[in-house]
Amino acid sequence: MLQQVIALLIIVFFIFRLIIQRRTQQINKKEFGLWLTFWLIALLAIISIKQIDQLVARLGFSGNGINFLIYLAVLALLYLVFRLRLTLAKLDRQVTDLTREVTLRLKK
Amino acid sequence: MPKIFCVIPAWNEAAHISLVVTEVKPFVSEIIVVDDCSQDQTAELAKTAGAIVLRHPINRGQGAALQTGNDYALEHGAEIIVHFDADNQFLASEIKEIITPLIADQADIVFGSRFLGKKANFPFVKKYFIMPLARMFVRLFLGIKLSDPQNGFRALNRKAAEIIRISNREMAHASEIQARAFKAKLRVAEVPVTVIYHDFGQKLTGGFKVISDLLINKIIK
């Protein structure tokens, strides 16, 4: 119970921080929406941790709900890192194209 | 004789570039040295030796430099483009042999191979460990059935150079060019070439980087 309260307080803190960031226009609408969705899902998961425990047990996993959420978070992080790598590769290719364009134009 | 351009990507090759350009000159119409933002005198020396020098404002890698050279050569009417290394490990006299199948119209692209009988003083680990692994990988995943997956000595006719656009800016370009040639159903030939190693060249870690670059480039399109 105490753990749940601490987790909820942390999430509320981040949502509050997010609202401030949006108000001071440090982040755009899209980013705000994305992170708000993320924290609300986390909030929902913490509130319904008992139901998740039951679901995890029904699915046949040996761990509890919190462990299951951590596994999901790790998977999400891996996916985000992969997406980041692809974005970097695209940017890298654009830099190469630009370099080539400049090189060939300077030679003309 | 067709208009033959030799593209030589170079990065900090001041020690070899003059000799390489001088030796290649008798066998081609034009030499393009793509200086990949060298910190030494590579560009000046190449120009003095008689090459056309293109200079990347930032370092982009060998594959990127080759494509820059290809673009320039195509724009200036090249009928045959030869790719040659700047580190003096190939023999310029073998340009004649590598372009022969193109001139005879028997191939669209010719790859040099270190495994077809000519001299190549391979480091042991490279010959018996790294290269067989590389060959197996490109055969399995890219469908390339060639004896040498990572050779920088090759020649392309105009059609092949127009079809193949190199997107891997670093060392994975060698396998990428081969894969694109097969995918485009170009007529492919291999000729034996001599390689004189001055250092070890690409290491096993470099091989893993090549694989990872090939996969990423396949995904981002």
Helix intervals (H) in A29-64: 29-47, 49-59
**What element of type H or E holds A74?**
helix A65-107
Quick one: average pLDDT of A31-53?
91
pLDDT of residue A59: 82
Look at residues A70, A45, A41 and name the one whose alpha carbon lies nearest to residue A55.
A45
Q: Do A86 and B220 touch (CB under 8 A)?
A: yes
pLDDT of residue B115: 86
Cβ atoms of residues B151 and B113 within 8 Å = yes
> Bridge-partner residues for B188, per DSSP?
B109
Pairing of strands B30-35, B4-10: parallel
Residue B119 pLDDT exceeds 90:
no
Least confident of A80-84, B70-74, B92-96, B121-125: B121-125
Residue B180 burial (CB count, 10 A) = 19
Cβ atoms of residues B197 and B89 within 8 Å = yes
Q: Which of residues 65-104 of A touch B (CB under 8 A)?
A: 85-86, 89-90, 92-93, 95-96, 99-100, 102-104
Which CATH fold topology does B4-220 show? Spore Coat Polysaccharide Biosynthesis Protein SpsA; Chain A (3.90.550)
Rounded Cα gap, residues A10 and B199, in angstroms: 56
Residue A35 burial (CB count, 10 A) = 17
Q: Is the CA virtual torsion B24, B15, B130, B219 positive or negative? A: negative
Report the gap between the CA of A107 and the closest CA in chain B (Å).
Answer: 7
Residue B29 pLDDT exceeds 80:
yes
Residue B209 pLDDT exceeds 90:
no
Pairing of strands B4-10, B154-157: unpaired
ipTM over 0.90: no
Of B182 and B216, the one with more pLDDT: B182
**What is the pLDDT confidence band of residue B120, given thresholds at 50, 70 and 90?**
low
Residue B163 pLDDT exceeds 90:
yes
Mutate one of A96, A98, A108 to test the B interface: name it (highest B CB count within 10 A): A96
Per the prediction, chain B carries an average pLDDT of 90
pLDDT of residue A100: 97
pLDDT of residue B76: 97
Residue % of chain B over a pLDDT of 70: 94
- In sequence order, the 6+-apart residues with CB closer than 8 A to the CB of A81 are none
Q: What is the pLDDT of residues B127-150, one digit of tens each?
A: 777 778 878 887 887 788 888 888
Residue A71 pLDDT exceeds 90:
no
Query: Which residue ranges make up each domain of chain B?
Result: 4-220
Mutate one of A85, A93, A94, A100 to test the B interface: name it (highest B CB count within 10 A): A100
**What is the pLDDT confidence band of residue B50, given thresholds at 50, 70 and 90?**
very high
Q: Do B57 and A102 touch (CB under 8 A)?
A: yes
Helix (H, G, I), strand (E, B) or coil at B155: strand
